Amino acid sequence: MLEAAGVPFTIAVPSIDEDVIKSLLTDGGSDGYRIADELAQAKAVSVSVRMREAFVLGADQVLVCEGRMLNKVLTEAEARETLSALAGREHQLISAAVIARGGAVLWRRTEIATLRMRHLSTEFLDRYLAAEMPDVLGSVGCYRIEGRGVQLFTEVLGDQFCIRGLPLLPVLAALRDLGVLSA
């Protein structure tokens, strides 16, 4: 999304254990909103400590369906299970972004999109997975709404960028406010 928007960037891998952070927050009673925000912050701060002069964007997305948080899957069988669990139900995608510099948080934003997935026939699910594997394994909901995944839904409420994992318009505004992008 940043590349498509013409924003130059370098990818840096944070030195955090997302599973440990998520587990601690979940065990502590945190909701998906806080978990997405804390993970985005941990990523941004971790990298900004190593690259002190850089403006570092950390982002994370959490999917919540009927109070249950779903995780990314590793196999087609798990993708089928996730899609079957979401079929006919409403879920929320919570996308958080944090900008940090020198270990300090400068800006943060979390947005929520609500999606209602239609009931899926076994035949449709077979065709969908055959066409979309392995690309959907990178998505917590096992779909890419910017492509064939849009066929899974009857209703989508929220920003398309949030659904794709980043509240892009607020991020771009923050980068302009911070002087990273020209106004």
* Each residue's pLDDT tens digit, 15-33: 999 999 999 999 999 999 9
Average pLDDT over residues 160-177: 97
- Cis before residue 134, ω within 30 degrees of 0? yes
The residues facing 155 across adjacent strands are 116
Contacts of 41 (CB under 8 A, 6+ apart): 58, 96, 98, 100, 105, 108
- Was domain 18-177 assigned CATH 2.40.50.140? no
Which sequence positions are flagged as catalytic?
60
Per cent of the chain over pLDDT 70 is 100
Tens digits of residue pLDDT in 80-112: 999 999 999 999 999 999 999 999 999 999 999
Angstrom distances, CA of residue 118 to CA of 30, 142, 169: 29, 14, 28
What ranges do the domains of the chain cover?
18-177
Distance CA(164)–CA(147), nearest Å, equals: 11
Count of CB atoms within 10 A of residue 71's CB?
A: 13
* pLDDT interval class at 138 (50, 70, 90): confident
On the question of pLDDT at 183 being above 90, the answer is no
